[in-house]
């Protein structure tokens, strides 16, 4: 393996066609390992800021490749530094490691049956967003690039990041904390990708400028007055109040924001209150998320949100405590337009021009945005949908039925390798 990689390195900058063929060969050789790693991580998922086992496997792998390793970055993060034999830029590659509190329904030989504590509650845990594939792909890329270290024109920083899904309440974490701890110091550019269950295997999706939304989550605590369910006039009902708030919040986007300018979303995802059918509770908790693309619209939405929640509660005789943001507040995931344009040829060479698709902005969010706020960044989607599944049939991320075709990971490995090598070549030519 080492000899194959070394031969590739010598030819990388001499012939793009030969280099591409060798990248493909290396990805073929690495694919069984990448699949094996992915299945292990999938069977043993870990929640945000608790990725101890995952981080240990990653750190050991990087050390065995001769890469300089730093652990416990932003709690459980792992950083690997691979210094090439020639001067050049520092290229960062990022993968996120955390799973979600979701119970898996897909019948796989490596199906997760893991449980863990989430907000003091025992919950099932599943890689329901594909971060297991991201870790496995970047481990494969690290092995490939380590084999050509002497001929690399620059330095590669491998970022294995915890808590992309947001740290537990009361904790810091994720890309934001990594940036605070100096992970992006000395980095010239960063690349990242995300497996996409709704995108066919073999395809890459991208968008210059704003690709994914900014996100702010929220927590509302409604306080009323407890009473017997048979006599609601003796109490103040936070459940009825919550129902009114859910409906009223939907008027912000439909009636207060200029939707021809940019999209926005307000979603209430959790309502917890009460213990019995015949007791009106004293208190209720609501959790949800806000997605925006425009800073002015974000500010207006937040203002209207606070007004509606407070006034709706007051009209029912209740009070509302609002935390906005609560634990997550990611900026827009922004692809540097010059970098995107410069690397488009690389993407088309890697996947084929017809398989590189520019998409509309989506209201999902990514804390890769914190990294891309520090240096030029490019974030992509790599297809994980089986080719035999009809276009109109799609399984959503963050659900018990989430599934990706592992054959899509090879394109991810090839893409990150080619982006790294091509960027180094372009930078050292200037």
- Residue 20: the pLDDT is 78
Q: Which of 2-6, 58-62, 337-341, 343-347 shows the lowest mean pLDDT across its residues?
A: 2-6
Supply 130's token pair: 């594909």
- Residue 18: the pLDDT is 63
| Dist CA 116 CA 220 (whole Å) | 25
- Residue 22: the pLDDT is 86
Residue 8 reports pLDDT greater than 60: no
**CA 329 to chain centroid:** 13
Supply 385's token pair: 């949908």
Supply 79's token pair: 């950083």
Return the active site residues.
330, 406
Determine the average pLDDT of the residues in 171-175.
Answer: 96
Distances (CA, A) of 38 to 43, 92, 111, 135, 201: 9, 21, 12, 7, 16
Spell out the domain ranges in the chain. Answer: 2-213+332-429, 214-323
Give the tens place of pLDDT for each residue, 62-81.
999 999 999 999 999 999 99
- Residue 19: the pLDDT is 75
Supply 15's token pair: 């012939």
Distances (CA, A) of 242 to 150, 236, 276, 284: 62, 12, 17, 8
- Residue 17: the pLDDT is 62
Determine the average pLDDT of the residues in 271-280.
Answer: 97
With cut-offs at 50, 70 and 90, classify the pLDDT of residue 4. Answer: very low
The model's pTM: 0.90
**Residue 19: CB partners within 8 Å, gap ≥ 6?**
8, 11, 12, 13, 421
Do residues 307 and 237 lie in contact, with contact meaning Cβ atoms separated by under 8 Å?
Answer: no
Residue 14 reports pLDDT greater than 80: no
Q: Which fold has domain 214-323?
A: Alpha-Beta Plaits (3.30.70)
Show the CA angle centred on residue 200, arms to residues 96 and 91, nearest 5°: 35
- Residue 10: the pLDDT is 45
- For residue 342, count other CB atoms closer than 10 A to its CB: 17
- Residue 16: the pLDDT is 63
Residue 253 reports pLDDT greater than 60: yes
Determine the average pLDDT of the residues in 254-268.
Answer: 96
Q: Which CATH superfamily is domain 2-213+332-429 in?
A: Zn peptidases (3.40.630.10)
- The rounded mean pLDDT for the chain is 95
Give the tens place of pLDDT for each residue, 338-375.
999 999 999 999 999 999 999 999 999 999 999 999 99
Give the tens place of pLDDT for each residue, 30-52.
999 999 999 999 999 999 999 99
Determine the average pLDDT of the residues in 316-336.
Answer: 95
- Residue 288: the pLDDT is 97
Determine the average pLDDT of the residues in 110-136.
Answer: 96
Q: What is the DSSP string of 206-222?
A: E-SEEEE-EEEEEEEEE
- Residue 355: the pLDDT is 98
At 377, give phi and psi (nearest 5°).
-135, 160
- Residue 15: the pLDDT is 57
Residue 176 reports pLDDT greater than 80: yes
- For residue 124, count other CB atoms closer than 10 A to its CB: 18
């Amino acid at each position: 393996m080492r000899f194959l990689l070394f031969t590739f390195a010598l030819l990388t900058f001499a012939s793009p066609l030969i280099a591409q063929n060798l990248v493909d060969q290396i990805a073929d050789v690495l694919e069984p390992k990448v699949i094996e790693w992915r299945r292990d991580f999938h069977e043993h998922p870990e929640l945000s800021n608790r990725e101890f086992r995952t981080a240990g496997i990653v750190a050991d792998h990087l050390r065995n490749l001769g890469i300089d390793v730093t652990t416990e970055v932003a709690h459980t993060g792992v950083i690997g530094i691979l210094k090439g034999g020639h001067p050049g830029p520092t290229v960062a590659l990022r993968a996120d490691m955390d799973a979600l509190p979701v119970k898996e329904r897909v019948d796989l030989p490596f199906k997760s049956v893991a449980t863990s504590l989430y907000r003091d509650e025992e919950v099932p845990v599943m890689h329901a967003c594909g971060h297991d594939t991201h870790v496995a792909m970047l481990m494969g890329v690290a092995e490939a690039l380590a084999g050509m270290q002497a001929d690399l024109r620059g330095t590669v920083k491998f970022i294995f990041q915890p808590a992309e899904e947001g740290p537990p309440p009361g904790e810091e974490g994720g890309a934001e904390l990594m940036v605070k701890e100096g992970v992006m110091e000395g980095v010239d550019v960063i690349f990242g990708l995300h497996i996409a269950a709704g995108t066919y295997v073999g395809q890459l999706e991208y968008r210059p400028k704003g690709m994914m939304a900014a996100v702010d989550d929220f927590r509302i605590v409604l306080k009323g007055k407890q009473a017997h369910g048979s006599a609601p006039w003796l109490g103040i009902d936070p459940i009825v109040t919550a129902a009114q708030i859910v409906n009223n919040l939907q008027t912000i986007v439909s009636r207060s924001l200029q939707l021809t300018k940019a999209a926005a979303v307000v979603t209430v995802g959790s309502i917890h209150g009460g213990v019995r059918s015949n007791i009106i509770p004293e208190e209720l908790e609501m959790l949800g998320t806000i997605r925006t693309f425009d800073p002015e619209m974000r500010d207006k939405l937040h203002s209207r949100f606070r007004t509606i929640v407070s006034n709706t509660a007051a009209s029912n005789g209740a009070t509302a405590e609002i935390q906005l943001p609560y634990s997550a507040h990611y900026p827009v995931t922004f692809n540097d337009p010059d970098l995107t344009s410069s690397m488009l040829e690389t993407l088309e060479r890697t996947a084929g021009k017809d398989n590189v698709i520019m998409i509309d902005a989506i209201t999902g969010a990514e804390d890769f945005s914190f990294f891309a706020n520090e240096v030029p960044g490019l974030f992509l989607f790599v297809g994980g949908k089986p080719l035999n599944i009809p276009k109109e049939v799609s399984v959503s991320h963050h659900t018990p039925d989430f599934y990706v075709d592992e054959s899509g990971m090879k394109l991810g490995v090839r893409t990150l390798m080619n982006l790294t090598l091509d960027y180094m070549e372009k930078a050292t030519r200037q």
